[in-house]
Amino acid sequence: MRFSLNQIQSIVEIARAGFHVSKAAANLNTSQSAISKHLKSLENTLARPVFLRSGKRLAGLTPEGEKILKYAERVLQDLASIEKIGVEANVLERETLALATTPTLAHYLLPTTVKTFTHANPDVHLRIQVEESDKAVAAVQRGECDFAIAPIGKRPMNGLSIDVLLEWSRVLIGTKECPLFAAREISLETIATEPIIAFETPTVSLRETFKLHGLNPNYALTTSNPDVMKAYAAQGLGVAIVATPTFDPVRDAPLVARDASHLFPNVTIASVHKEDGYRTIAQKRFLSNLKSVLPAG
């Protein structure tokens, strides 16, 4: 029993496209009829359906299809690894290193590393895909990016290898008129008395910290962008809780800050890779450059 690469690609792309055959065909630069043909021939060979159907539309995966998809994705991953080895060995072809990361990390963590890496590796085209944290990780899972630098939360990351790089603490920022910055001590209870501008993504949220202490603060707004948070805090709309490295007392004046690391959990930032994916020399160099500029400990 043998299967073609077209059949395997069709299964994976249909699943990635939300079971829309037309979208899968567009993503593979082929026709809808060709995709349908590959799927039909595969199911005939297996003598089992791979997808559930609702009329003429695909509605999901059968139990067998879920198992097959896992291995089909692995086949494509291994083929991509073979291709990377070939490109890496061929000095005539410029290698592409695809990195997924968040807007915050692209702005506040990676610039020095990107500058050092690009200057030292002119033969490597670095492509940075900027997404929210969960989408950055999903881009690695789908094979769209070689690796991600992203905050990690409690969500499972099946099939991925996680290398923790550093942790960022939290700082409270706002205008000096806010009583929290003159108070001798601050607590979650006192912070909850003020309007809050909170950082929130599907991966990282501060709501749970307040909930664990039975608090229901007034959220003036939530966003995933610390620069937006600072802009609205400067307008006096509330106090913002941001990662410490995103605040600079000179650059961000007239905002003032107060350490809140004892009140909120740190943000864990990691490098995320496919568990069994091939890691190119360029990828290893990038991470080595990044680790060399991280604070000790």
- Domain 170-265 falls in which CATH fold? D-Maltodextrin-Binding Protein; domain 2 (3.40.190)
Report the pLDDT value the prediction gives residue 87, as an integer from 0 to 100: 64
Give the H/E segment covering residue 274. Answer: strand 267-274
Three-state DSSP state, 230: helix
pLDDT confidence bin for 91, thresholds 50/70/90: low
Identify the CATH homologous superfamily for domain 94-165+268-293: Periplasmic binding protein-like II (3.40.190.10)
Show me where the domains of the chain are located: 5-86, 94-165+268-293, 170-265
- Burial call 253-278: b when 16+ CB within 10 Å, e when fewer: eebbbbebeebbeebbbbbbbbeebb
Residue type, 252: D
Strand, helix or coil at 129? strand
- Report the pLDDT value the prediction gives residue 228, as an integer from 0 to 100: 94
> CA torsion sign, 137 to 139 to 140 to 142?
positive
Q: Check if the beta carbon of residue 242 is closer than 8 Å to that of residue 228.
A: no
CATH number of 5-86: 1.10.10.10
Asked if pLDDT for residue 3 goes beyond 80, the answer is no
User: What is the reported pLDDT for 92?
Assistant: 44
* Chain center to CA of 136: 2
Pairing of strands 170-174, 239-243: antiparallel
Q: Note whether 5-86 and 170-265 share their fold.
A: no
Describe the strand order of the beta sheet including 95-101 as a list of residue ranges: 124-130, 95-101, 147-151, 267-274, 160-168
pLDDT for residue 177 = 93
Neighbour tally for 97: CB within 10 Å: 21
pLDDT for 140 beyond 60: yes
pLDDT at 76 over 80: no
Condensed to tens digits (0 to 9), the pLDDT of residues 247-289 reads 999 999 999 999 999 999 999 999 999 887 778 889 999 999 9
| φ and ψ of 146, to 5 deg | -70, -40
